[in-house]
Structure 1
Amino acid sequence: MSLPDSPQALRHHCCLQFTPLGKESWTLSGAGGSLTVPLPGMVMINDVRIIRAMTLAGEGVALLPEYLCRAECAAGRLQRLLPDWYAKADPVHLVYPRQRFMPPKLRAFIDLAGDVLGRWLE
């Protein structure tokens, strides 16, 4: 089977879907706007590491965060498909109780989390 050359062509591939997203489609955005692609040939998996492993094994096409597959793409083990299209990133929230004075340990953790997440997303 040939590589998909458009978002619509994804419906002809086994698409590996992250279960918590709970969707039977992918919404992709490009220069022409957004497009929701139904995925009839879909496998639902609840661990992105398994999705990455299955993709590396040639079991399907996946929508993976760049930080999770950067090394594999650089080494040529994975290939980015549809480079003119992208999916909306899920936000990351750090939630803590509002306090008049923030404990130094909490401030240190917030700073560390920001630094680590910032490096992942570079």
Structure 2
Amino acid sequence: MLEKFKNDPEIKEKGLKIIALLVIIAVILLSFDVFTQNKDGRKQIIDEDGGTEAQLCSILADIDGVGDVDVMLQHDDDDNITGVIVTAQGAGNPIVKNNLINAVMAVFNISSTSVEVFEKKAANEYKEEDLNEK
């Protein structure tokens, strides 16, 4: 019976087609993986319009006591938010800082240990530092 499978040209042709299809699928999957990873193996998450970060900045800037805000989001392989860094004017105030942390926790359903908030320098502080360095 095994000889029948070896010698039947129709079965050989189907087998070759299946193998060719599997090779094509493997090449497609491998090329997709290569294009979605950085050289160090980390997947690159691109929010092309910056929508999530821009929305978060807008919401956080509306909190009482908060001035200019910047955020950075860290994602896992499944695009889930795993960490957030916030720099905001006014974050030196413990109440404002706590409000920022609570807002981020609520939006992304993450723990407070995944959120870091830092006081953002005022624009005039940059100029003073530059003058002191010279």
* Structure whose CA Rg is larger: 2
Instruction: Answer 1 or 2: which has greater strand percent.
Output: 1
TM-score, normalised by the number of residues in structure 2: 0.25
TM-score, normalised by the number of residues in structure 1: 0.26
Higher relative contact order (CA 8 A, sep 6+): 1
